[in-house]
Amino acid sequence: MRVHGVRMLWIGAGLWIVALGAGVLLVASTAPTPDPIPTPSPQNPLDRDKAEKAAAAARNTAPPAPPTPRRWSARTVAEVQANL
């Protein structure tokens, strides 16, 4: 009788492993797919920027550097107020 009990434990453990594997496969197969890389729109610079970043991420490289800001040229308060 003891052998029968051990055999049933092994069968039960095997069934649990199979059920767990089936659950993992079910979750993996129903997971949402990642969004495709967006194509740039020539009319919208924001779309183009997102596409450049996505392409750089796909290549595993750094995205292009943003343009450098212009230097402040006003030296007096009057020049600052005139530029506003």
Q: Where are the domains of the chain?
A: 1-30, 34-61
For the entire predicted model, the pTM comes to 0.35
pLDDT digits over 29-51, tens only?
A: 887 776 666 665 566 656 667 77
Question: At residue 67, does pLDDT exceed 70?
Answer: yes
DSSP string, 20-78: HHHHHHHHHHTSPPPPPPPPP-TT-HHHHHHHHHHHHHHHTSPPPPPPPPPPP---SHH
